[in-house]
Chain A
Amino acid sequence: MRVLLVEDYQPLARALTQGLREAGYAVDAIADGRQGLALAQTNAYDALVLDVMVPEVDGLAILRRVRATGSNAGVVIITARDQLPDRIAGLDLGADDYLVKPFALDELLARLRAVIRRRYQATTAVVTLGDLVIDSAARAVKRAGKPVTLSAREFALLEYLALRRGQIVTRTEIWEHVYDFAAEPSSNVVDVYVGYLRRKLGDGEPGTRRLIRTHRGLGYSLDAEGGV
């Protein structure tokens, strides 16, 4: 899942970026509201984490402009202002959630999961596909009852495919939602990671059903029914 963080206080921005990346998110962090707005309008972020008081264009203005373009990215406002009118203004502008500084990193992560699930019309953190169980909250994956250990990026890839299960997901979409600007672009990096994931899940091994299907020239899909 790819997240845009707009926060001008560098120590906080650095810590949140690290925390989010380690939780498997692709994170673009920016301190300036104008650049933040430009990024939000040109990239398919799953969620925006916006500080209200940032230079040039404030967080609420970014939210308004982004919503005006029809974006349905999940938006979590983080702010030091905890007055009721501030919260109401944020939520009325289309924020999905509101966190008052200081907050627990776990709470930010939980709320991000929630707003991203909502975006993909999922209701719980646990997705079950056949014998595959993906728990976004615990960041745990089980295949046929056995735990599977995934890297952060592998998990992010699986999570994205699971949220869009049954749909064909293009390589570009995967790239946009799983990788941030810090990742080195590479033509086949998506295919490489899909390969890693399949291997760890034991997908396609004898006695198992293939969950991740390749659609030649289109992309990949994750289906409970499986296939070849």
Chain B
Amino acid sequence: MSRSLRVRMTASLLVVLILALGMLSIVVHQVVSRALVKQLDAQLADDASAVAGMAEDEGAAVEFEYESLPDFERPQRPAYFQAWLDDGQVLGRSPSLQGRALPRPSPNGGALTYAWLTLPDGRPGRAVGLRQPLRIEDAGPGSARQSARYVTVAVAQGTETLDAALGTVRRWLALWVGITMIAASLAVVLSVSRGLRATRDVAARVAQIDAAKPGPFLRTGHLPDELAPLVEKVNELLARIEASFARERRFTADVSHELRTPLAALRAMVEVALRRPRQPADYAAAIAEMGDVVGQMQSLCENLLALARLDAGAVPVRLEPVALRPLVDDCWRPFQPLATERGLTFTNALDPAAHATTDRDHLRIIVSNLLSNAASYTAGGGSVVVRAGLTTLLQVDDSGPAIPADILPHLFDRFVRGDAVRGAGVHCGIGLALARGLGDVLRLALSVENTGDGGVSFQVRAAGAGPAA
């Protein structure tokens, strides 16, 4: 099957046309043929009747008196007749037979019998057989008197005229079918081409689209109805691509923002330190502070890398039994200095026997980011408690402030803008997004809710276990 729509549509249309026109031609041919044969048969019947009328019952004998009929005498393509009595005696023959014989028709009640045959001169022809009572002498035409004896008449003539007429009909039909097919093919090819020209226009415009900046989209107003849905889908795809590019651009800008701030601090620290000679203790303090900033940048970079791996779907998972309480203690250790500085109290209320079968490294990143969030954003002097709830594997509850309702649903988005609203300090903006992404890999659902007493609860539960916001 050709892959060209035009060829396929044209071919199938032609097949249908051939079938339809062929059947129509056959019907027309049959109708004309029947009409012509009927006409011929009527002529044959008239002739047979006339020939039968030439025989007369004269009581003792039967007389056949041939009255000259030009059809039976002409030298070219003559007609033929022969008349018999029931006993087989030949009453008479047309002059054209010249001693040859026509086959005697078999009796068929009083009806006329028609048959195709080959004439004595070899031409194809048609014959009629007629058997009727003999006319009685002196009875006028229309006389009711009938003889008890019968005459059988066969009349035959060539079918050249009929064949010629049918040939003409066939030629016209063929010509008509041919012209119709050619015209229909042209019409199909042209209209399909015109219809498909729109696809080339669309293709040309799609080709002009800049992948990095998909807009403006394709217009659908002038397109055929069949193509409009396709173009609409292309437009939807372009919109999604554009949104995704916008997200990527924002992400890149946000990454750059998050890296620029600590970088600015590092640069300022270095430049201030080098501005004038200082005491060794001052240098040491400055370098220690630079080390902290470098550590923050490193953790941001690691989170970014983990997030990129997550996006690429290249996160290997190694399941093993993990004791939760010591893992939480390990994860908290780096945040203890910050928590102490901010006057936060930390409680690990997990059962020492609490275990989960999961990936230790990924769970560590999840818990670290939840604890980092709590250590950074819990108001000074507050508390951070890690415990297991009724439906949660573990949850990190802090003493607030509560998260504004408009930010709550987006807290796990990358670089959520609300982080600046929740308090001062370093905010990497991707930690919670990374945590949720890794949670998905481990089939752990992460959620957050304001607890009603002003606190915030970050919850980790096995996917499908109880309600998750």
Contacts and interface: CB of A to CB of B under 8 A. Distances in A.
B271 interface: yes
A15 B262 contact: no
A18 B263 CA distance: 17
A129 B265 CA distance: 38
Given A15-B272, A19-B272, A83-B253, A101 B424 contact: no
Contacts of A53: 257, 420
15 contacts: A9-B261, A9-B426, A10-B425, A11-B292, A11-B293, A12-B265, A15-B265, A15-B272, A19-B275, A22-B275, A22-B276, A78-B264, A80-B257, A103-B264, A105-B271
A100 B257 CA distance: 10
Contacts of A14: 289
Given A9-B425, A104-B271, 12 more contacts: A9-B261, A11-B292, A15-B268, A15-B269, A15-B272, A18-B272, A55-B424, A80-B256, A81-B253, A100-B260, A103-B267, A104-B267
Contacts of B263: 101-102
A16 B261 contact: no
Given A19-B275, A81-B253, A8 B267 contact: no
Interface residues of A, number: 29
A101 B265 CA distance: 9
A76 to B, nearest CB: 13
B393 to A, nearest CB: 32
Contacts of B420: 8, 53-55, 58
B390 interface: no
Interface in B259-290: 260-269, 271-272, 275-276, 289
Interface in A1-31: 8-12, 14-16, 18-19, 22, 31
B409 interface: no
The number of chain B residues touching the other chain, given as a range, is 20 to 34
Interface in A111-167: none
B22 interface: no
A58 B266 CA distance: 23
**Residue of B253, B265, B276, B426 ringed by the most chain A CB atoms within 10 A:** B265
B421 interface: yes
Contact of A105 (B253, B258, B268, B289): B268
A19 B275 CA distance: 8
A28 B35 CA distance: 118
B264 A102 contact: yes
A11 B275 contact: no
A165 to B, nearest CB: 29
Contacts of B275: 19, 22, 105
A56 B261 contact: no
A112 to B, nearest CB: 14
Nearest to B259: A80
A40 B422 CA distance: 23
B229 interface: no
